[in-house]
A = this chain, B = another copy of it.
């Protein structure tokens, strides 16, 4: 233990750290839906259209181990589990908002650039 970080710069800037938490093909989407309130696994799966079980679970576990998401197992007779944002997760989502806004404003430019790379060149 005691790995005191005197000059131990693990991340160059905060963004670098943050990206470690939110990168993953489905994480932004998951966060987007969880921001609306606690959601059951199955419901989440239907919302995040296109995810496979493996991926959903994997990303949820990572978010959980990062303290962003809380898994609640109701221990009920017919299996019942739901996921929600922790306060920490909620603060992350708030910090993400400006970036969401930027993305919304420039969605078309971004999409166009992506197309350019896909097609011809």
Contacts and interface: CB of A to CB of B under 8 A. Distances in A.
Interface in A19-78: 19-23, 28-29, 31-32, 62, 65-67
A91 B99 CA distance: 10
A29 B31 CA distance: 24
A11 B3 CA distance: 41
A12 B3 CA distance: 40
- Which range contains the number of A residues in contact with the other chain? 35 or more
A56 to B, nearest CB: 15
Nearest to A28: B15
A9 to B, nearest CB: 9
Contacts of A91: 102
A92 interface: yes
30 contacts: A3-B108, A12-B28, A12-B29, A12-B32, A13-B28, A13-B103, A14-B104, A15-B31, A15-B32, A15-B96, A15-B103, A16-B32, A16-B103, A18-B100, A18-B102, A19-B23, A20-B110, A20-B114, A21-B110, A23-B23, A62-B117, A65-B113, A65-B116, A67-B109, A88-B106, A91-B102, A92-B102, A94-B98, A96-B98, A98-B98
